[in-house]
Amino acid sequence: MPAVVMGTVTGVRRTSPSFLTVTLAGCSTLETGGFDQRIKILLAQPGQDEPVLPPAEDWYGVYREMADDVRPVMRTFTIRAQRGEEIDIEFALHGDAGPAAAWALSAAPGSRLGIIGPEIGDNPKAYQYMPRRPDWQLLVGDDTAVPALASIISALPADAVARVFVQVPHAEDVREFETAAQVKVEWCVGGGLADAVRSAELPDGTPYAWVAGETSIVRDIRRHLTGTLGWDSKPHYFGGYWKAGQSEG
């Protein structure tokens, strides 16, 4: 059974033009597996002070049966960090077009957010990043995948070798990733992620690829790796994190 918790905002930090980190308390029954650990966030409807949460048991069945004006808006995010009962969620901002991005822009201490995630001791496979002793890793993502990439890269062991390609909207969004590993990062500011991967000279040896971001760009990169380069598609992760022109809801 997952943990369903009501998080209370304790801090909001705008770290660069396109990123904002929200810290939430009240998450003591959640336990992140690290890496690209996904969660569902539940947002209040207009007129509600806080979202109405379903119970943990059969949460999705109950959620679907809620009245349209009661059912919270649900979106998928990543636990960026956990410190005891506190978690950080890092939002890639994209104006106020989406409810999640709009909520992040207006979040302040005391704001409430529902979170559904793995319970302590539950589901050791609640993340997708699973390299199986590759010679090197290809880690690729856009702004929405930066929180997952940052967690993955910081957990790489010292003998890991990784080529990283990251797309962000602004030059000021470029950051250092903390890591003990041998990591080469290429930043694509404002676009060009798939082209950067396509034109890269990649290392020899057995690769493991983790690619996440806008769906059509992830598909392009997948086609290049498994089609043009002939990589076996099975061991790798290709995650469509969002679709241009389409809301997640």
Ligand X SMILES: Cc1cc2nc3c(=O)[nH]c(=O)nc-3n(C[C@H](O)[C@H](O)[C@H](O)COP(=O)(O)OP(=O)(O)OC[C@H]3O[C@@H](n4cnc5c(N)ncnc54)[C@H](O)[C@@H]3O)c2cc1C
By CB under 6 A, the count of residues binding ligand X is: 27
Give the distance, in angstroms, between the CA of residue 94 and the centroid of all CA atoms in the same chain: 15
- Given a contact cutoff of 8 angstroms between Cβ atoms, the answer to whether 207 and 134 are in contact is yes
Shortest Å distance, C-beta 99 to ligand X: 4
- 108 backbone φψ class: left, alpha, beta (φ>0; ψ -120 to 50): beta
- Nearest approach, Cβ of 104 to ligand X (angstroms)? 8
Q: Is residue 98 a contact residue for ligand X (CB under 6 A)?
A: yes
Assigned token pair, 245: 């022109």
Q: Write the secondary structure of 47-88 as one string of H (helix), E (strand) and C (coil).
A: CCCCCCCCCCCCHHHHHHHCCCCCCCEEEEEECCEEECCEEE
Nearer CB in complex with ligand X: 231/238: 238
How far is 207 from 202, CA to CA, in rounded Å? 9
Q: Which of 52/101 has CB closer to ligand X? A: 101
Please report whether residue 115 would count as binding ligand X according to CB under 6 A: no
Closest to ligand X by CB, 71 or 94: 94
- Which one of 7-15, 88-96, 108-116, 152-160 is the stretch in contact with ligand X (CB under 6 A)? 88-96
Give the residue, chosen from 22, 30, 92, 139, that forms a contact with ligand X under the rule CB under 6 A.
92
Per-position x/- string for 145-184, each x denoting binding to ligand X as judged by CB under 6 A, each - no binding: --x-------------------------------------
Report how far apart, in Å, the C-alpha atoms of 204 and of each of 39, 140, 162, 219, 234 are.
35, 18, 12, 23, 19
242 binds ligand X (CB under 6 A): yes
- At position 144, the amino acid (one-letter code) is T
Spell out, one character per residue from 36 to 75, where the chain touches ligand X: x when CB under 6 A holds, - when not. Answer: --x------------------------------------x
Q: Which residue is nearest to ligand X (CB)?
A: 98
Asked whether 92 and 75 are in contact (CB, 8 A), the reply is: no
| Dist CA 151 CA 79 (whole Å) | 9
Q: Is 100 in the site for ligand X (CB under 6 A)?
A: yes
Among 6, 101, 183, 189, binds ligand X (CB under 6 A): 101
Structure tokens at 115: 């979170």
Determine if 90 is a binding residue for ligand X (CB under 6 A): yes
Hey, CA dihedral for 172, 178, 181, 182, is it positive or negative? Answer: positive
Question: Given the rule CB under 6 A, which of 50-58, 94-102, 170-178, 182-190 is the region that contacts ligand X?
Answer: 94-102
